[in-house]
């Protein structure tokens, strides 16, 4: 049940009744309890436009609001309408929600490809991959939960000139040593690049390896396969530790499109879209200009015959729109690639590869160190993602040990894993994805404020109520009665879960869900302070336990949609 939509529709009905069809309802949550639960503010402007008295129109709208879930609406001030939900209706909805779970949220049916994580396999995953991996995985979970048919796509970079020196370097190692030296992929990459820069013989061998690889030379392909397999194993270790839903099956690497590339270029030529400029095959698209307002080319084949990043992306786009037949495709890729993706989508339209499907860039900003500089190691190297995750778990272990020394070591390890990983993810997801943010261990691991540990802790507090009551949260008498304001506020908050989840997908903003969960936890704390749960008479106790159980489940579900786990005690 989308509560916001229900109220919007009711007010729209009232407006239509008063002769204002198509006038937006403009319903907001009430700023003060005396204004009811919600307030409709759209009437005044509409009345003024029609040259009528706003209070009079508001009266007509209110009278025409014929729904059972609202108490009789009140006209207030210069023409607002205060809307109060019926307490018995809230109670019924809570009961239904408690009994039926959240399966009713299954409302969407689009086929959506999400391109996310997508690291280059030449190196190990680093901090730069944190955002696309975490945001993409949360979007996947939310969209899937709403019933969409979601296709995860890990568009890994496994092809191109950068592999020349890596393969040449691998080739020089005795066969028995190759596997072990790939275990530290980062060091391997550094050494190979250093050789490439300092040793001209090696550099020309490396360039030769690029040609060999592209022409399908068997020995070179075998080395490449060994390298790629090892690099994918590194990614998978990160996904495992980080509780990311990507699997090997979701990989559709750049190399998968190799055979398509010449065909794409030929097709673009036949469509008359190609212009040769400085020997390169380019598409000039309207509206794209570079410096000096010169038309900006989209290069699909370089003058040396090689195919750039964009060409592979054109092939991938055609595959997604055509073969996969998606309704939408989202690209969770950093803001610096905005122009690249704009060109890509425009080219896709121009060539007729996309036809009305929604191809969309989901950009994000960067992660900074506390000095506001890019997050790098002291010597300027990328920080490995796996190291960040291990540190998160180690730091969470310290925090948990201080907070709750009673837990056994194995319990503490599990809590540390769940809290540490959750904290890193939540710090990411709770920010607007476009803003740069400072990576701050203490803030993300704090048990206060809008953090994962705060929410995970709120969850354990509710669970402990059930342990104390010796009650099964899943098998309560579902009757709910609402009396106290804090109780009412918490229930309304719970009934706003669906609209929140749907709102996340409106502009792919997981922070909408984070803010909701934070407010829900706060709302629970106020409820818990003012409404005794276990000490009341049986009917009240039962009703409040149902509210507690639904809160715990909503917190757990909301966190799981963000890819964050919970524990029973911490
Ligand atoms: N591998 C690329 C990088 O690390 C990201 C790929 C994003 N996806 C895409 N279809 N271009 O920058």
Say how many Å lie between the CA of residue 337 and the centre of ligand 1.
Answer: 9
Q: Residue 105: its pLDDT value, please? A: 64
Q: Residue 104: its pLDDT value, please? A: 54
Q: Ligand 1 in contact with 254 (CB < 6 A)? A: no
User: Mind listing the pLDDT tens digit for each residue in 163-218?
Assistant: 999 999 999 999 999 989 999 898 999 999 999 999 999 999 999 999 899 889 99
Say how many Å lie between the CA of residue 314 and the centre of ligand 1.
Answer: 12
Instruction: Indicate which residue's Cα is closest to atom 6 of ligand 1.
Output: 118
Instruction: Indicate which residue's Cα is closest to atom 4 of ligand 1.
Output: 119
User: Residue 391 corresponds to which tokens in the numbers above?
Assistant: 């540190």
Q: Which of 113, 157, 310, 317 to mutate to test ligand 1, by most ligand atoms within 8 A of the CB atom? A: 157
Q: Which atom of ligand 1 is nearest to the CA of 115?
A: 8
User: Mind listing the pLDDT tens digit for each residue in 411-441?
Assistant: 999 999 999 999 999 999 999 999 999 999 9
Q: Ligand 1 in contact with 115 (CB < 6 A)? A: yes
Contacts of 540 (CB under 8 A, 6+ apart): 481, 483
Dump the DSSP string for 406-472.
TS-HHHHHHHHHHHHHHHHHHHHHTS-TTS-EE--HHHHT-SSSSSHHHHHHHHHHHHHHHHHHT--
Say how many Å lie between the CA of residue 117 and the centre of ligand 1.
Answer: 8
Is residue 31 exposed (0-12), middle (13-18) or buried (19+ Cβ within 10 Å)? exposed
Q: Residue 544: its pLDDT value, please? A: 98
Q: Residue 106: its pLDDT value, please? A: 63
H-type alpha helices, 69-129:
87-100
Q: 317 with 354: CB under 8 angstroms?
A: yes
Give the rounded distance of the alpha carbon of 161 from its chain centre. 32
Q: How many CB atoms lie within 10 A of CB 319?
A: 18
Residue 253 main-chain phi, psi, to 5 deg:
-80, 165
Q: Residue 363: its pLDDT value, please? A: 98
Q: Please give the Cα distance from 68 to 71 (Å, whole number).
A: 8
Is residue 173 exposed (0-12), middle (13-18) or buried (19+ Cβ within 10 Å)? middle
The continuous run of DSSP H or E covering 114 comes out as strand 111-115
- What stretches in the chain show pLDDT beneath 70? 103-106
Give all domains of the chain, ordered by start, each with its CATH number: 3-85 (3.30.1360.70), 111-157+255-362 (3.40.50.620), 162-247 (no CATH), 385-561 (1.10.730.10)
Say how many Å lie between the CA of residue 180 and the centre of ligand 1.
Answer: 28
Q: Ligand 1 in contact with 27 (CB < 6 A)? A: no
Say how many Å lie between the CA of residue 334 and the centre of ligand 1.
Answer: 9
Q: Residue 481: its pLDDT value, please? A: 96
pTM for the structure as a whole: 0.95
Q: Which of 337, 340, 385 to mutate to test ligand 1, by most ligand atoms within 8 A of the CB atom? A: 337
Q: Please give the Cα distance from 61 to 345 (Å, whole number).
A: 45
Q: Ligand 1 in contact with 313 (CB < 6 A)? A: yes
């Amino acid at each position: 049940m989308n509560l916001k939509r229900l109220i919007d529709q009711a007010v729209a009905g009232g407006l239509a009744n008063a002769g204002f069809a198509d006038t937006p309802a403009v319903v907001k949550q009430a700023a003060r309890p005396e204004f009811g639960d919600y307030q409709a503010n759209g009437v005044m402007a509409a009345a003024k436009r029609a040259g009528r008295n706003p209070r009079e129109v508001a009266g007509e709208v209110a009278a025409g609001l014929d729904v059972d879930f609202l108490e009789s609406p009140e006209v207030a001030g210069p023409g607002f309408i205060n809307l109060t939900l019926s307490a018995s209706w809230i109670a019924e909805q809570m009961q239904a929600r408690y009994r039926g779970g959240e399966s009713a949220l299954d409302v969407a049916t689009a086929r959506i490809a999400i391109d996310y994580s997508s690291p280059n396999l030449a190196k190990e995953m680093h901090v730069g991959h944190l955002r696309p991996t975490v945001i993409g995985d949360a979007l996947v979970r939310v969209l899937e939960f709403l019933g969409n048919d979601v296709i995860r796509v890990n568009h890994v970079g496994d092809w191109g000139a950068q592999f020349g020196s890596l393969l040449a370097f691998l080739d020089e190692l005795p066969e028995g040593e190759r596997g072990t030296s790939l275990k530290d992929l980062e060091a391997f990459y550094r050494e190979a690049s250093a050789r490439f820069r300092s040793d001209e013989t090696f550099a020309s061998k490396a360039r030769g390896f690029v040609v060999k690889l592209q022409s399908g030379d068997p020995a070179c392909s075998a080395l490449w396969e060994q390298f790629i397999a090892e690099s994918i194993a590194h990614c998978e270790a990160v996904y495992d530790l980080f509780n990311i839903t990507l699997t090997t099956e979701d990989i559709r690497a750049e190399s998968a499109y190799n055979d398509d590339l010449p065909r794409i270029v030929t097709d673009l030529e036949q469509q008359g879209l190609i212009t040769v400029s400085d020997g390169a095959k380019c598409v000039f698209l309207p509206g794209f200009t570079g410096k000096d307002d010169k038309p900006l080319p989209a290069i699909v084949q370089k003058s040396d015959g090689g195919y750039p990043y964009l060409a592979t992306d054109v092939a991938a786009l055609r595959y997604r729109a055509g073969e996969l037949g998606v309704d939408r495709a989202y690209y969770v890729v950093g803001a610096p690639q905005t122009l690249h993706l704009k060109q890509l989508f425009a080219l896709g339209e121009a060539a007729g590869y996309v036809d009305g499907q929604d191809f969309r860039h989901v950009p994000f900003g960067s992660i900074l160190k506390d000095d506001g500089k890019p997050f790098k190691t002291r010597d300027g190297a990328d920080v490995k993602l796996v190291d960040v995750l291990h540190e998160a778990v180690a730091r969470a272990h310290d925090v948990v040990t201080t907070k709750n020394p009673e837990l056994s070591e194995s319990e503490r390890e599990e809590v540390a894993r769940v809290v540490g990983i959750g904290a890193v993810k939540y710090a990411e997801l709770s920010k607007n994805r476009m803003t740069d943010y400072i990576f701050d261990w203490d803030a993300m691991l704090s048990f206060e404020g809008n953090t994962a540990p705060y929410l995970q802790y709120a969850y354990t507090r509710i669970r402990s109520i059930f342990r104390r009551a010796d009650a099964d949260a899943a098998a309560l008498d579902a009757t709910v009665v609402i009396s106290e304001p804090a109780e009412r506020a918490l229930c309304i908050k719970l009934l706003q879960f669906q609209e929140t989840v749907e709102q996340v997908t409106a502009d792919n903003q997981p922070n909408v869900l984070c803010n909701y969960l934070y407010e829900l936890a706060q709302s629970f704390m106020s409820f818990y302070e003012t409404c005794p749960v276990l000490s009341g008479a049986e009917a009240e106790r039962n009703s409040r336990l149902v509210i507690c159980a639904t809160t715990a489940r909503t917190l757990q579900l909301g966190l799981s949609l963000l890819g964050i786990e919970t524990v029973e005690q911490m």
